[in-house]
């Protein structure tokens, strides 16, 4: 079984070449990647924060610590580079079942069912 991206949203709008943060050198936005089993119906959300090194510098004072889990960090915004990296990273996972794939993906983005217990 392999993973397949069904949809990508940036700040609740479609993530495509028309999406661009106001300041390409200093931004932080949520990228929601809807992923499911390749060739099958169904999807689950995986959220990752996309930001620049400048944004980190501006939002980290001398006494702070910033944890980097579920983040993609860029020097400046480039749709093609970001999109290519997301496609390569999130559509390259495979496993015996969906849970195994989702757990791999959750290393990079917050899975909506992360830490879920029945």
pLDDT exceeds cutoff 70 at 116: no
| Interatomic CA distance for residues 85 and 90, integer angstroms | 8
Residue 42: helix, strand or coil by DSSP? coil
Give me the mean pLDDT over the 41-58 stretch: 95
Question: So where are the chain's domains?
Answer: 3-111
* pLDDT, tens digit, 9 for 90 and up, residues 92-113: 899 999 999 999 999 999 998 7
- Average pLDDT estimate for 75-80: 97
pLDDT band at residue 48 under the 50/70/90 scheme: very high
Q: For residue 60, how far is the Cα from the chain centroid?
A: 22
Instruction: Select from 102, 73, 79, 60 the least CA-distant residue to 19.
Output: 79
pTM of the complete model? 0.89
* Contact call for residues 68 and 43 (beta carbons, < 8 A): no
Q: What are phi and psi of 59, to 5 degrees?
A: -110, 10
């Amino acid at each position: 079984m392999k993973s397949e991206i069904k949809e990508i949203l940036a700040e609740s709008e479609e993530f495509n070449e028309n999406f661009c943060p106001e300041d390409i050198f200093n931004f932080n936005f949520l990228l929601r990647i809807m992923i499911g089993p390749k060739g099958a119906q169904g999807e689950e959300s995986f959220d990752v924060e996309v930001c620049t090194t400048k944004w980190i510098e501006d939002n980290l004072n001398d006494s702070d610590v910033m944890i980097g889990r579920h983040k993609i960090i860029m020097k400046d915004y480039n749709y093609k580079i970001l999109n290519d990296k997301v496609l390569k990273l999130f559509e390259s996972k495979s496993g015996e079942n969906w849970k195994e794939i989702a757990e791999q993906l959750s290393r990079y983005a917050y899975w909506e069912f992360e830490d879920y217990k029945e």
